[in-house]
Chain A
Amino acid sequence: MAREAPLYELQGISKSFGHVEALKDVDVQVYKGEIIGLVGDNGAGKSTLIKILSGIYAADSGTIRYKENVVRINNYRDSQALGIATIYQDRALVDSVSIYRNIFMGNELLTPYRFLDKRKMRKEADYVLNESISIGIKSSKQMVGDLSGGQKQAVAIARAIYFRARLLLLDEPTNALSVKESRQVMKFVKNLREEGISSVFVTHNLLHVYTIADRFVILSHGEKVGDFKKAEITMEQLEHMIVTGRSHVN
């Protein structure tokens, strides 16, 4: 099937920690507006792959392309500049300050006299929270520490939306969430797909990932052992592959 070029493309990515080969020669393509379920057993290398895209680790070898051009991601800024936003389970929010200060931290809006433009930040934050991911947050002046786990994820996602992310990386975003909250987070990710935003979704919950993803990339001991569209694989086959690390199509 002829298809447009991938938006992001990883080619031959390898990464070792001492003698542990966390990733071996992995290729992944991400197309516009698709949700990729990145699956594999514990220690398969999923988080390492996510961290390479978000600029926390540098790959030992391999190339990253954005819109067919080779790019380098050396730090968070590079990653952000390429439209990549990482939603960490807990790491990237500050509980002791308000929602709008969280959304804009590191990217504060300033008045011409270089003071914080609090009114504008509040307005923009309220807008994204209500329009894009309405989740029952009344005011962006609320402390993040007072929010539920799902609402915190929503704030992190709101930050990504506001800064026009084109690729969301979600590493086990639903781990600490209730069933209802997980469902909400998955709904945001789906809504964003309608707006053309791609996601890479890592989770242990097979049901979640099978419900939401358009394509599955399966890692085992640092190697890619499968890459299937949803139509090509059943949930049972997917589970089998994760457990055995072998492709079901032989």
Chain B
Amino acid sequence: MSKVQKKTKHRTGNLKKVLRYKDISIVIITIALFTIFTLVNKKFLTKENLFIIVKTTPELGIIAIGMTMLIISGEFDLSVGSTFAFAPFIMASLSERMGLHPVFALIMGIIVGVGIGFINGIITTKVGIPSFITTLGTMMAWRGAVLLASAGFPQAFQRDLPVARLFAGRLSGFPVQFIWFIVFAIIMWIILENTRFGNWTYVTGGNRNASVALGIPVDRVKIINFMIIGGLAALAGSIQVFRMGSAYSNAGLGMELQAIGATVIGGTMLTGGSGTIIGTIMGTIIIFSVENIIILSGAPAFWFRTFVGVIIIVAVSAHVLIQGRRD
């Protein structure tokens, strides 16, 4: 082999290595979109505008993190939008109507979310029906429950309570919920990448039979991931209540699909076994940037769905083209 040949071989080898790095395609997609958006509208890349994106991202982002883990483990959850409304409604009612301390009310709300996840997990793994069906059912059931409990009226919640400011206040102008989003993202990233449970989550979704054969408790792994996303959906819903000062029975409608959208834009495969938190963070930011650029450009808001739909297809195609199909 000549020296030149060797050199090019080495170089393409390095390029391949970079492209193999699992988050590279989402980074390329994000940079490309941000460049386009900046060219389309000068206001896009200003501090004020980025703060607006940062303020609204965390609610979906926190759910999308949980969705990512659950999808990696080979299941998904359509009931998160209903949990996002139901659990915080319980929190707000307990605090405002029953006079429970707001911190305990929040804890109760999150326990409700975790419990909803537990029920989803038990039905899916022990009865053995697809999580699509289980959570389609619980999605409707919990939405019905919150509509019934609220009789269609919002439940007020005091925005200036310390607990509300802790999760949805400002830190010298910066929305703290974004900090919580990043904190949870880091915790979940550490769990996924650096703990045994995280490894079991990947292998359970990647090859359930192999995992069973090697003694991994696949049902328990899935149930715990259902509980994590349930708890995160309850927390995200509570953050919205803290931000808006009311719990609405129609909060989080359609959020399950947006969360799945953010996850797949980020490079997580619906087939399970692969995916990353970093990708999902980027995916969530992309969705809100799209919404933002539409509003900035004065285009009618219903373009949002169309655009997100197109982005989902373009992003997943880009992942496949950049990283190659994995079958």
Contacts and interface: CB of A to CB of B under 8 A. Distances in A.
Interface of A: 56, 75-77, 80, 86, 88, 91-97, 101-102, 104-108, 110, 114-116, 118, 143, 145
Nearest to B198: A116
A76 B215 contact: yes
B214 A116 contact: no
Interface in B206-246: 206-207, 209-211, 213-216
A118 B194 contact: yes
Given A94-B273, A95-B207, A116-B195, 20 more contacts: A91-B207, A91-B209, A91-B210, A92-B213, A93-B207, A94-B210, A96-B205, A96-B273, A96-B326, A97-B202, A101-B199, A101-B203, A106-B214, A114-B195, A116-B194, A116-B196, A116-B199, A118-B194, A145-B326, A145-B327
A88 to B, nearest CB: 7
B326 A101 contact: no
- Interface residues of chain B: helix, strand, loop or mixed (majority): helix
B213 A105 contact: no
Contacts of A115: 190, 194-195
B273 A92 contact: no
Contacts of A92: 207, 209-210, 213-214
Interface of B: 190, 193-196, 198-200, 202-203, 205-207, 209-211, 213-216, 269, 272-274, 326-327
Contacts of A116: 193-196, 198-199
A133 B195 CA distance: 28
B215 A106 contact: yes
A66 B311 CA distance: 60
A76 to B, nearest CB: 5
A101 B207 CA distance: 13
27 contacts: A76-B213, A76-B215, A86-B213, A88-B213, A91-B210, A91-B213, A94-B203, A94-B206, A94-B207, A95-B273, A96-B206, A96-B326, A97-B199, A97-B202, A97-B206, A101-B202, A105-B203, A105-B210, A105-B216, A106-B215, A106-B216, A108-B199, A114-B195, A114-B196, A116-B193, A116-B194, A118-B194
B196 A108 contact: yes
A137 to B, nearest CB: 15
Pick the most buried of A80, A86, A107, A116: most chain B CB atoms within 10 A of its CB. A116
A93 B200 CA distance: 13
A108 B190 CA distance: 16
Nearest to A88: B213
Pick the most buried of A95, A96, A108: most chain B CB atoms within 10 A of its CB. A96
A85 to B, nearest CB: 11
A87 to B, nearest CB: 11
Contacts of B207: 91-95
Nearest to B271: A96
A250 to B, nearest CB: 42
Contacts of B213: 56, 76, 86, 88, 91-92
A98 B327 CA distance: 15
A93 B274 contact: no
Contacts of A86: 213
Nearest to B274: A96
A171 to B, nearest CB: 12
A143 B274 CA distance: 11
A108 B194 CA distance: 11
Nearest to B204: A94
A96 B273 CA distance: 6
A94 B195 contact: no
